[in-house]
Each structure stands twice: as structure tokens, then as C-alpha cells.
Amino acid sequence: MDDTVLLTGAKGSVGTAIREGLADEYDWRYLFHNPPPFEPDHPYLVGDVTDESLVAEACEDVGAIIHLAGDPRRDAPWDSVLENNIHGTKVLYDAAIEADVEKFVFASSNHAVGHFETDRKPNLYRVDDDFMLDGTELPRPGNHYGISKATGEIIGRYYHDEYGIDVCNIRIGNLTREHPPIDYERGQAMWLSYRDCAQIHACALEAEYEYEIVYGISDNDRKYYSLARAKEVLGYEPQDNSAEWDGDEKIV
């Protein structure tokens, strides 16, 4: 990807993993909701993803978008996810189409399928359980935030079919800079390390596809999200595994 890449929500945890892991790999343009508490190494804009004129400016001469912006709270109220997550995603897609952007990588979430866990926990978090989600299942959101992420996937489906933009939805797991506590079974099952987070987004920028839903976790022994599609379509090769960590120390 030689063209400029727009990264929205660049100050959040996923945005930080991407900025740190891929800082020199792409010609970035960042969109921050608030002024960043540091001086970015690439050009940036500040404002709401619902601001049509700002978003249109952000998309000018952009080849691809990684869209992370929105209300990230899993207990976010409906009015907020409706405006910031659902409407904001639609505004960005409109601007992307107007600017002839070729590729749109959408940060979906484990919360888009949260209720698959309801009747199966805690067993599905364990190595000996064979339940697996692969991205072909219908969404089962676990909260309003999950509804907004499932809706974002559907918005992308429409814009791909209607306008031909390539779309990759990454259902991101439990991203932490350090490993989650060893007694947190769910966190271990859906753990995504910072370097694997950066890598899967780089793969989504480089791979050829039309419309995809993949899971974004590290290659954990405990997992109920299949990585088969991410590996096959994106060429994702995760480096980390929650079973190889004890607390914050890697087992060597």
C-alpha cells in the first residue's frame, strides 16, 4: 500500500498499537477526536467522525482507511453509539466513496457476537472445548456497543455491494499491552497482543479481498474464535499465544 492511509480513532488502544507497530510502514494521516497529548509523526486532523466536512477533508487522496473511531465503552448508552459508531461509520463510508478510497478496514469487536458466550461460559474459554466461531455466523451482540459494531459490518456490506469498495471487518478480541491475568480465562481465550494487532491490520491493508469478516486475536491455545480465515485470506501469522505467558513474563 503506497497511498496514504487514514487512521481514525488514532489515540485509542488499537490506534496506539497500530501507530507504534507500523509507524514507518505507511504514509499515515491520523484523525483524533481530541488534540493528542503528544506531537504525532504524521499529519493529523482533530474532530468528530460525524463532521461531514472534516471527514471529507480527511479522506482526500487516501487509498485506504482503518476505521477505529467511535464510543468504545461496552456500556455506552444508545444515543452515543447511534451517533458516534453507527452514523459516524456511515458518514465515513460516504466520504470514502466520494474520494474513491479503495479499501476500508473496520474495527469490529468481540461484542458483536457476545451472546454466543452466554449459555456456553466458562467452558468455551477452555482448551478442551471445541466450540468455535469463524465469521460466517450471524451476529449476536452482547450490548449496545456490540449492536453498533454488528451494524458497522452491515453498513460495509452495503457499501461494498453498492460501490465496490473492498471491506475487511476485524472482530477484535481482548487487546492489552501486557498479558491479562492468568486466572482470567475469557481474557486469555481472546487475547490480542499489541504486535499481533499491528500485524493483522497491516495484513488487511496489503491483502486482496472483496468483503471479509475475520477474528483478531493472537494464536492462543485457548480460543473460540477461528483464525483460519484471517490466515488464509489476509496472510496473518500471529506471533503470540496467551499460553506462553505467566503474568507479564513470557515463558521461554
Q: Give the separation between CA 175 and CA 118, rounded to whole angstroms.
A: 21
User: With the CA atoms of 172, 92, 206 and 237 taken in that order, what torsion angle do they form, in degrees rounded to the nearest 10?
Assistant: 0
Amino acid, single-letter form, for residue 218 = S
Cβ pair 88, 106 in contact under 8 A: no
* All three cell numbers of 69: 473511531
Which among 117, 199, 214 is positioned nearest to 169, based on CA atoms?
214
Distance of CA 118 to the CA centre of its chain: 23
Total Cβ atoms within 10 A of residue 149: 29
67 DSSP β-pair partners: 8, 106
Distance of CA 59 to the CA centre of its chain: 19
- Which residues form the catalytic set? 145
